[in-house]
A and B are shown apart, each in its own frame.
Chain A
Amino acid sequence: MLFDVAAVLSASVALGPVAEAFGVHEITAYDTAVVLVLDLAPVVQPIPDAQPATDGGSRFGQADGVLRQLSQISISDIDTFVASNPTAIDSLLSDPPLAAEVSIWWNSLDGQRRVALRSATPQLVGNLDGIPFVYRDIANRSMLTSTIDELEHVIANENGRTMVENAKMQLRMLTSISEALGGEYADSRRTLMSLDVRGQGKAAIVLGDLRTADYVTFMVPGMFFTIEGQMGYWTDAAARLADEQRAWLALLGDHPDASVATVAWIGYQTPNLTNVGSIDNALEGRDLLAGAIQGLQSLRGAEQPYITVIGHSYGSTAALMALTEYDFQIDALAVVGSPGSPAKSVGELHVRNGNVYVGEAPWDPVPDSAFFGSDPGSASYGAHVFGAVGTTDPLTHKALAASFGHIEYFSPGTESLRNLALIGIGEGALVTDGRPAPSGILAH
């Protein structure tokens, strides 16, 4: 155990309604023992609004049936209920209630019921937006570990070649998530925000603490991103962006103690060569990204962070659609290598103060294509165009690091990464447009 539970429990950081209900004010790391302490503590003040409606109608929307049953049946029956309703959880996750409703439901449960739910259905607790991230992390890590164990058992004991090959493929995918979480280095600052172990998999890894971060950046990838192939790369990019943001917050001095969290969000099935021309994956990405952001906003209550979305390639299409078709607002949007979306201008996007930025690297064939609608880089769109080409050193006249091609926007030392970091901490005024510094500061 790396830290003293008692010390943790006596410290003071808000854990929102959950913490207040337990008289707990701070958790400094995601640790199983602490969560168990929270789980087993009595609920002092159940939230009255969480009681089921007396008219038999729903307080939780379309998916109320399952949630209501899970909150009302005997704790000892939860396992049986989940086992005998194998599609109920999947249906609930594919058509979830509003995150705010989920938060109310979760806060109405006592600790023992939460433990039982996490044990019986970690995929529900791990992925339902509105459940606090500390519980989701524990549930998802548990799901990850148990699935890896099962796959290793299959590989060691089964004779069917197809079954073994499929198990090996799934194991490689899940191992990449485990490694991105830190593997042997076990970095407690990484949270497994969501996990779907089926098929090619889906996952989101957070660098930083979503419960307290002042600035949160969601990174949404595009085509050809798979969990097996890119979870590590995308998490590295999120780590790099977080480092860059921490450095700039200190350097600018306005909010030196502010904290950041970045989310390597591969929370939807990105397209491959066979379906990259279809909008279907973007629709899934739109809905799941919207749920993730609304979940965060629901949990943060009155302490809302500055939220930025970075959409890369096809991921930018999903992000643009989410920010057009859902009601929530974010603080900034940056798209790189974007094939566009149906939105025709910044005015259609739910982004505060017109904080919409577009980056295009040299030799990237995707921007300007407007494949899915309008080109966000066009002048009529109204977005700020930021530099990804690398500025020129005013003293030596040497070129600074540029991003080339479709996947170089997040490389260390590039103008693109620096600009994305600045956008994510509300410092868009310092974003460069690719012209020689210092005159290259983007005009606003």
Chain B
Amino acid sequence: MARTSRAFALLFVLPLAGCAVPAAWGVTADDARTHLVRAVDQTQELAGGSWTQSDDAVPRGCVIPPWTAGSRASVLRIGTPPIDPQHAADLVDAAWVSWGYEVTRATIDPVIEVQGSFGGELIVFRVSEHAMSLQGEGECSPAR
């Protein structure tokens, strides 16, 4: 449960501290969704441009160790290209690190990819001279 405890702690660091923190697995479905959406929304603001929201309304399945069925929210956003893709990637990278995310980065030329994980939450930011994208899946929480 170390990962969950860490995620718990970080929840209070982010501007999500006002969310109710449940007792059992760590986060409720609503909390997990709120955390994901807020992080993505803030990343959009940071990167600038205008964005189209195509979030999937249907939660995706996941497993809470060892065998409990859970669900997780997902997001898909497509944004207009920034003036400087490299700078946008740097901004997002630095912000996510400051928010407590574990960040990795790769280049699939001509696209820069930044991945941030926060407990079981995963966000992928990609940027090119044509567009930006944000995809993410939230922390796994017990299925309703």
A residues in contact (CB < 8 Å) with B:
182-183, 185, 187, 190, 232-233, 236, 239-240, 243-244, 246-248, 250-253, 256, 391, 393-396, 398-401, 412-413, 418, 430, 432, 437-438, 441
Chain B: interface residue count, which band?
20 to 34
Partner of B122, one of A232, A244, A396, A413: A413
Residues on B with beta carbons closer than 8 Å to the beta carbon of A398: 104
B60 touches A437 (CB 8 A): no
**A239-B74, A393-B105, A437-B107 known; A252+B57 contact, CB < 8 A:** no
Across the interface, which residues of A come within 8 angstroms of B15, CB to CB?
Answer: none
Residues in chain B within 8 A of chain A (CB atoms):
54, 56-61, 74, 76, 78, 104-111, 115, 117, 122, 124, 126-133, 135, 137
Are A250 and B133 neighbours in the complex by a CB distance under 8 Å?
A: yes
- Residues of A contacting B74 in the complex (Cβ-Cβ under 8 angstroms): 239-240, 243
| A250–B131 CB distance below 8 A | yes
Given A243-B74, A250-B133, residue A185 in contact with residue B109 (CB < 8 A): no
B108 to chain A, nearest CB (A): 6
> Given the complex of chains A and B, what is the CA–CA distance between A190 and B58 in angstroms?
10
- Residues of B close to A412: CB separation below 8 A: 122, 124, 135, 137
Q: How many Å lie between the Cα of A418 and that of B109 in the bound state?
A: 13
Question: Which chain A residue has the least Cβ–Cβ distance from B79?
Answer: A250
Residues of B contacting A: mostly: strand
Q: In the complex, A239→B126 CA distance in Å?
A: 18
Whether B130 and A182, one on each chain, are in contact in the complex, defined by CB atoms closer than 8 angstroms, is no
Nearest CB on B from A283, distance (A): 30
Assuming the A-B contacts A250-B133, A251-B133, are A185 and B104 also in contact, with contact meaning beta carbons closer than 8 angstroms in the complex?
no
Residue of B nearest to A253 (CB): B130
Docked CA distance A371–B117 (Å): 38
> Among A236, A432, A438, which residue has the most Cβ atoms of chain B within 10 A?
A236
B109 touches A236 (CB 8 A): no
Once the chains are docked, how many angstroms separate the CA of A246 from the CA of B81?
A: 15
Determine the chain A residues whose CB is within 8 A of the CB of B59 once the complex forms. 185
B134 to chain A, nearest CB (A): 8
Say which residue of A233, A240, A396, A430 sits within 8 Å of B108 (CB atoms).
A430
Contacts of B126 in A (CB 8 A): 247, 251
